[in-house]
Structure 1
Amino acid sequence: MKPLVAELLEANIGKVKEQEPLANHTTMKVGGPADIFVEPDSIESLKKAMEIIQKHQVSWRAIGRGSNLLVSDEGIEGVVIKLGEGLDELKVEGEEVTVGGGYSLIRLATVISKQGLSGLEFAGGIPGSVGGAVYMNAGAHGSDMSRIVKKAQILFPDGTIEWLTNEQMEFAYRTSILQTKRPGICLAAILQLKQGNREEIVARMQKNKDYRRETQPWNYPCAGSIFRNPLPHYAGRLIEEAGLKGYAIGGAKISEQHANFIVNVGNAKAQDVLDLIDYVKKTIKQLHGIDLQTEVEIVGRKS
């Protein structure tokens, strides 16, 4: 790893750290270290970093603001690339918005609504970055990214950069082609929105934001919804009906506010969260014969 670190530092691509605790970069506030942690300061720097990583044949993964992510206590092998400053540009041209992958989704929804553009109201309370939202087709309140993404700019591991159309992104429930067939990093997205009444749009977004604040436990570190909804059922309802609200293992607890959230109530380990996920899965399987699938992405070395 030393030659790789030396080359990344020499390339002057932004922040480069060794053994960086990923608990500092996830909304759940758990997770061991990344062997190498890189935060590029521009798309060119990111492209250069990827070239160096590929040259050394080291594994990598990208993160945004660390929501919807559970990193094991053993951390992540290889390189973790964080998209943030330097990949957070914003350009509004009529009803078309071009936004960097590192831009905050909540901030974007707020800025855009104030300009009288409709289509992002659903994202008012969704933590995370635009790139992460595209990657997982984030959604709420009956809408998601697939409804508004016109094109997404993707950096692939071989260094090529392509604009993929909405159709080419193969969006489905909480997933996209970046998870299933073609791993890559979302550098930017072009969103197709609609001009509307500014006051009505801001009111709708605020209503969605207030609803999330009232029904979801954002006062504790958490990763967002833990399980996908096994439609026509809802994961939260199944877990609540099983009497599991408030059930805890170590520092991890099923939220008493919303049963599809696990919160870090004090120095939780990733293993506490994983054990709680397994307990919920087994309980729901025994009661209903339903196999719950995680929505949160579980990554890192196995213990």
Structure 2
Amino acid sequence: MQSLVKKLEDKQVGKVAVDEPLSKHTTIKIGGPADLFIQPSSIDGLIDSLNILKESDIPVRVIGRGSNLLIPDDGIRGAVIQFAKGLDHLEIDGTQITVGGGYPLVKLATIISRKGLRGLEFAGGIPGSVGGAVYMNAGAHGSDVSKILVKAHILYENGESEWLTNEEMQYSYRTSVLQEDKKGYCIEAVFQLEEGDKDTIIEEMKKHKDYRRETQPWDYPCAGSIFRNPLPNHAGKLVEELGLKGYQIGGAKISDLHGNFIVNEGEGSYEDVMNLIKYIQKTIKEKYDIEMETEVEIL
């Protein structure tokens, strides 16, 4: 491992750590150590990292800001690459922006709103990265990434990259081609926005944020929405109808505020959360004959 670390450091790819606790990098504060943890300082650093890891036959997982992620307590074997600083560039050209995959989505929405540009209001309370949002077609309040994406720069595990258009991303509800046929990572994206009234945009974002604070448990470690909505039903409503809000297994608890959120009460484990997820799936299947699919990414 030390020789691999030296190769990465010699290439100056960015921050490199051994046995890094991934609980420090997930919003639910759960996750064991990664054998190798890398935060590339640039796109070149990312590509160099992937090439070195491929040469050494080291398996790789890529994460963003850890907001929609559940990682086992025994951690991840191989390397984990996190998109963060170094992959967070931003260029604004009129109503079109180009932004790095590691850019925080909330920060981007805030900056763009202050420029008087419309289109990202829905993202004002989504605590993820641009790359993750493009990957899963993140959305809220009746809008999502598919409404504004022009194209996405995708890097594949073999080191090759290409730009995919909105159409080529094959977006549907919380899904893109990157989860299906083309396994890759969004390293930057181009969004098309519209001119608008700055005060109106900021006020709309404030309403969205206030709504989230009132209805979602952001004062507890959590991973965001656990289940995809089985449309036309809503996951949180089904959980609430079954009286499961507040139900707890170990240190994992279904939020008292929102049925589609599981919070870490402080000592929650991966196993606690998984058992709670399975219990919800089993209960809803028995009552409504609905198969609940997870929205949170489970490594």
TM-score bracket for the superposition, by shorter chain length: over 0.9
How far is 1:276 from its partner?
0.5
Cα distance in 2 for partners of 1:142, 1:194 equals 17
**Residue in 2 aligned with 1:69?**
69
**Residue in 2 aligned with 1:161?**
161
Cα distance in 2 for partners of 1:55, 1:84 equals 24
**Residue in 2 aligned with 1:264?**
264
Q: 5 Å matches for 1:8-27? A: 8-27=8-27
Cα distance in 1 for partners of 2:153, 2:14 equals 21
**Residue in 1 aligned with 2:197?**
197
How far is 1:42 from its partner?
0.6
How far is 1:2 from its partner?
4.2
CA RMSD of aligned residues (A): 0.9
**Residue in 2 aligned with 1:275?**
275
Percent identity over the alignment is 59
Q: 5 Å matches for 1:41-80? A: 41-80=41-80
CA deviation string 1:150-200 (max 9, x = no partner): 011111112122111111111111111111111112111000000011111
How far is 1:147 from its partner?
0.6
One-letter amino acid of the structure 2 residue matched with residue 106 of structure 1: V
One-letter amino acid of the structure 2 residue matched with residue 193 of structure 1: L
Cα distance in 2 for partners of 1:274, 1:205 equals 33
How far is 1:82 from its partner?
0.5
CA deviation string 1:14-47 (max 9, x = no partner): 1111111100000000011111100010111111
Cα distance in 2 for partners of 1:191, 1:262 equals 32
CA deviation string 1:82-141 (max 9, x = no partner): 011111111111110111111110000000011110000000100011011101110001
How far is 1:218 from its partner?
0.2
TM-score (norm 1): 0.97
**Residue in 1 aligned with 2:187?**
187
One-letter amino acid of the structure 2 residue matched with residue 25 of structure 1: H
One-letter amino acid of the structure 2 residue matched with residue 261 of structure 1: F
Q: 5 Å matches for 1:1-150? A: 1-150=1-150
Q: 5 Å matches for 1:213-292? A: 213-292=213-292
Cα distance in 1 for partners of 2:5, 2:285 equals 46
Unaligned runs of 5+ in 1: none
One-letter amino acid of the structure 1 residue matched with residue 129 of structure 2: S
**Residue in 1 aligned with 2:212?**
212
Residue 223 of structure 2 aligns to a residue whose secondary structure is coil
Aligned length: 299
One-letter amino acid of the structure 1 residue matched with residue 84 of structure 2: G
Cα distance in 2 for partners of 1:276, 1:72 equals 14
Residue 281 of structure 2 aligns to a residue whose secondary structure is helix
Cα distance in 2 for partners of 1:86, 1:22 equals 19
Cα distance in 2 for partners of 1:189, 1:110 equals 17
How far is 1:69 from its partner?
0.4
Deviates more, 1:186-195 or 1:175-184: 175-184
How far is 1:58 from its partner?
1.6
How far is 1:3 from its partner?
3.7
Cα distance in 1 for partners of 2:108, 2:84 equals 14
One-letter amino acid of the structure 2 residue matched with residue 235 of structure 1: A
Cα distance in 1 for partners of 2:44, 2:26 equals 25
Residue 278 of structure 1 aligns to a residue whose secondary structure is helix
